[in-house]
Structure 1
């Protein structure tokens, strides 16, 4: 402190009253960084006692004017987001009314304590991240990320939550209340937000601004959200596609041109076929085309694209294998709206085109990509997901005697299968998703939990990873690996995941059989189980 108090972090030290004296050093190291024990002569009893603030009843909003003011102007990207928010405002309002009618008997609570708002920091549009998107908005550049963030902002606003939106480091620093310095200055008060939504760039920026203080609050930040249902390892936030009324649907069917294929167009009502050529992966355009009465023709990847064999995924922390340009459309929509074929097989491709020319389809939009579906999903996340106070994991089976049976276990094996379900004579502890939705399935050798659960017409649920310690094995090891929990393919040896946050539904290895936490789901709303609402 004596040698460096006027160097790099000086604005921080000065902010907290350090003036170069040993007395100020001791006070700072004791009261601010807690590096030294409390000083006996300091009045610590005057520290305010915090009490839980009653939650405020949320009220749905239909006026997007206040949100448009927060988004602001000055960039083409922001103008694009404002236009989208304004254009879909009526659909959001109608969806909110329908959702309110369905949930009117349930008391919804606003996800904030007192006046604490939700922070949404869109890092990829900040100047500090390079913002390569804004200059290309009107030149055919990618718009998918802006679509998703515009819809996230609108959904949070319509649900009645208090938002703070930042598109720059200056705004972010002001909202966080971070003292001056380069991230070495700790926050001493309560974190000003109950929930934070950001992206990869935004998370790095928050880390830089908050420095050591981030560790204390990082569990409340949610950056693991995706536009598409990539894998269950991240929460599916999604986006919406515009819904057609009956007049628009009839107009499309009446005016649709046959024998026409469109790769990119501004008037979807004239499309017959929407063709994907393999990239970009999982964008919103195919869903918008299907919602406007198109048939989506896309390539099948053989072998599937993944980190070992494709440059786009190389170096990314995922074991995911992508079977087509838009796996969601392939697996959950399918024929007649989606045709997935090997473009290298001319006979298969020609047969698919002939089938498309004979097929008539109605506009189709999955519920989870409607305004109501996104509001329902996001509302459930905010009410039930808890990143700040996760439930304690179960004890290991060898150390727990709280379950009946010999050996003790809360699970029972289904007849003629390798599937475990929650025992009917055991009361499940509180959890979300509820443990009643969980089935444990032992995967075949070399298959991931994504594929294993799909084979059972279920979905992998990583939240249940912490509840999978009730396993009886001859030998047990607890390690950090994206392949665990698993069972050795050759020996009766079990491997459990030491770090639950690293559990991967997509991980697979030739020497292990994954123990997969599967769950049921609502048709058209995969993010939620049947008992999740």
Structure 2
């Protein structure tokens, strides 16, 4: 929760040149949509124009150009005069700072925090999940996420209460937040929800469930969409807006969390009015989007052919699972470590067995890995959690448990000494769960590093980043004795790592950024930005 607030503040500074208040999660926002503010012409006539000395434009690279455009084009659409634009530079600047957010607010126009909050409902911290469960239980696509939220309900509530005691969470704006999971729509063709209980990828669902939980507990109005029909229903009020200005009246949404697939759906659904919502976008993007892929003209000039880039957003609006680059924002996820109260009371009594657990729920991941696994088997038992009846690539000595529930997996990890990487999947949350339960992680090294230049999986992704191992974050930011990065084609190197692991007691380890309290504190967002960011 902490991290989300910090991200919002950073992007707030980039777009607005203001310093966000992390203590209470409030930042300057646009005028209330229920009472649209116009430029006060009477004030201008009474001398306010004299106060129109422009503040520094740092963090607003497009402001000057927009003011020049307004001087020439403000009569091109009557919507500008409806917002109070009258041809004066001051009215241009006020419109561009208070309606469209291209420019910083004039100091004499800035509302006090109290005035802003009084005009809106305030967000109140929640400690009860009933309403969230009611909404999520109506859709089969949300079942896996809801089960995860239920398993972790106790630490979530404890974290939000702790945060409320330590930080001032009153007088926060209660925002209308749209969460659109494009990856769960039928149109995406991914079938992630359908395969969630049969070995399918879960990393994105982990991050989405944690984000939804955080926003809900912080007291915001959260609407979750997992179909284009739902998206159209939520946004139907503004879908026909062809005006050059944002729609007046009560805002449909104030902040939008979405993925790349959802972005395409959102843009197509809204048509021309999509431009008025770019500032509200916060894009969950596991592997990140580098600036040269994000800037459409530059990407075109460099010959980058990617279906995932060219959005022309601020790079910090892209939120990653791990801190790949300062260009994007690090959202992260919560490592599932704690069980319910009765489980926690005796989980520490579980004795470690001389066994390993292989990271790979799909049989094909095990292909051509027998020699590597033979080395491990010479020192300890080898266990797996592979789905289905097809296990042709599993060596005969592997004890396969099949797909386990989250609770059962936690217990299995607690009695395991070594979590074994197979080189794929890349950068998932599972190794951190294993490390948090006291396992060492055997992390396959990549030489040469894998990237879009030599690996099909990364081709088309909007990044040139090179992975030096299956899990670069664990390799660089955690390291030994919890993470052992080895060349799995070198039996001697693998043996040395195993002997070192078995010669010591390895305690559970959990990075602060992956704890529930850390997520809560960083998830207090704001929305006043011009092309993308998170809620406060």
CA 184–36 in structure 1, closer or farther in 2 if over 3 Å, else same: closer
Contact residue 358 and residue 422 of structure 2 kept, 8 A: no
Report whether the alignment pairs 1:214 with 2:279. no
CA 386–337 in structure 1, closer or farther in 2 if over 3 Å, else same: farther
CA 349–171 in structure 1, closer or farther in 2 if over 3 Å, else same: same
In the TM superposition, residue 293 of structure 1 has moved relative to its aligned partner by: 1.1
In the TM superposition, residue 287 of structure 1 has moved relative to its aligned partner by: 0.9
Cα RMSD after superposing both structures: 3.4
**1 CA distance for matches of 2:481 and 2:345?**
17
In the TM superposition, residue 71 of structure 1 has moved relative to its aligned partner by: 2.0
Q: 2:329 aligns with which of 212, 235, 244?
A: 235
CA 308–243 in structure 1, closer or farther in 2 if over 3 Å, else same: same
**1 CA distance for matches of 2:416 and 2:170?**
44
Higher strand share: 1
Partner of 2:134: 69
Partner of 1:301: 446
CA 253–346 in structure 1, closer or farther in 2 if over 3 Å, else same: farther
Partner of 2:464: 319
**2 CA distance for matches of 1:163 and 1:244?**
26
**2 CA distance for matches of 1:305 and 1:241?**
26
In the TM superposition, residue 156 of structure 1 has moved relative to its aligned partner by: 0.4
Contact residue 64 and residue 85 of structure 1 kept, 8 A: no
Contact residue 259 and residue 357 of structure 1 kept, 8 A: no
CA 253–358 in structure 1, closer or farther in 2 if over 3 Å, else same: farther
**1 CA distance for matches of 2:178 and 2:208?**
13
**2 CA distance for matches of 1:184 and 1:286?**
48
Report whether the alignment pairs 1:102 with 2:175. no
CA 212–295 in structure 1, closer or farther in 2 if over 3 Å, else same: same
**1 CA distance for matches of 2:195 and 2:170?**
44
**2 CA distance for matches of 1:37 and 1:158?**
42
Q: What is the TM-score with the length of structure 1 in the denominator?
A: 0.59
1:126-149 CA-to-partner distances (Å, cap 9, x unmatched) read: 112224112212211111111111
Query: 1:315 is paired with a residue of what secondary structure?
Result: coil
Contact residue 85 and residue 150 of structure 1 kept, 8 A: yes
CA 37–359 in structure 1, closer or farther in 2 if over 3 Å, else same: closer
1:396-425 CA-to-partner distances (Å, cap 9, x unmatched) read: xxxxxxxxxxxxxxxxxxxxxxxxxxxxxx
In the TM superposition, residue 259 of structure 1 has moved relative to its aligned partner by: 4.5
In the TM superposition, residue 37 of structure 1 has moved relative to its aligned partner by: 5.2
CA 180–370 in structure 1, closer or farther in 2 if over 3 Å, else same: closer
**2 CA distance for matches of 1:125 and 1:355?**
43
CA 118–270 in structure 1, closer or farther in 2 if over 3 Å, else same: same
Partner of 1:345: 490
Partner of 1:90: 154
Following superposition of structure 1 onto structure 2, how do residues 95-494 of structure 1 map, counting pairs within 5 Å?
Answer: 95-104=159-168, 109-110=172-173, 112=175, 117-178=176-237, 188-189=247-248, 191-223=251-283, 224-244=318-338, 248=344, 251-252=347-348, 254-263=350-359, 264-265=384-385, 266=409, 267-379=412-524, 382-383=525-526, 386-388=528-530
CA 109–350 in structure 1, closer or farther in 2 if over 3 Å, else same: same
1:215-243 CA-to-partner distances (Å, cap 9, x unmatched) read: 12212211111222232322222221223
In the TM superposition, residue 158 of structure 1 has moved relative to its aligned partner by: 0.7
Contact residue 221 and residue 387 of structure 1 kept, 8 A: no
**2 CA distance for matches of 1:359 and 1:248?**
24
1:160-193 CA-to-partner distances (Å, cap 9, x unmatched) read: 1111111111211121134677x97997435421
1:455-505 CA-to-partner distances (Å, cap 9, x unmatched) read: xxxxxxxx9xxxxxxxxxxxxxxxxxxxxxxxxxxxxxxxxxxxxxxxxxx
Structure 1: runs of 5+ lacking an equivalent: 1-33, 391-462, 464-526, 528-532
In the TM superposition, residue 289 of structure 1 has moved relative to its aligned partner by: 0.8
Contact residue 417 and residue 438 of structure 2 kept, 8 A: yes
**2 CA distance for matches of 1:330 and 1:44?**
54
In the TM superposition, residue 118 of structure 1 has moved relative to its aligned partner by: 0.9
Contact residue 440 and residue 483 of structure 2 kept, 8 A: yes
**1 CA distance for matches of 2:243 and 2:185?**
23
**1 CA distance for matches of 2:354 and 2:445?**
24
Partner of 2:304: none
**2 CA distance for matches of 1:311 and 1:99?**
43
Contact residue 262 and residue 271 of structure 1 kept, 8 A: no
**1 CA distance for matches of 2:231 and 2:257?**
12
**2 CA distance for matches of 1:317 and 1:389?**
18
**1 CA distance for matches of 2:505 and 2:171?**
43
Structure 2: runs of 5+ lacking an equivalent: 1-73, 85-97, 100-110, 284-317, 360-383, 386-408
In the TM superposition, residue 277 of structure 1 has moved relative to its aligned partner by: 1.1
CA 273–250 in structure 1, closer or farther in 2 if over 3 Å, else same: farther
Query: 1:192 is paired with a residue of what secondary structure?
Result: coil
CA 259–70 in structure 1, closer or farther in 2 if over 3 Å, else same: closer
CA 319–386 in structure 1, closer or farther in 2 if over 3 Å, else same: farther
Contact residue 129 and residue 201 of structure 1 kept, 8 A: yes
CA 159–38 in structure 1, closer or farther in 2 if over 3 Å, else same: closer
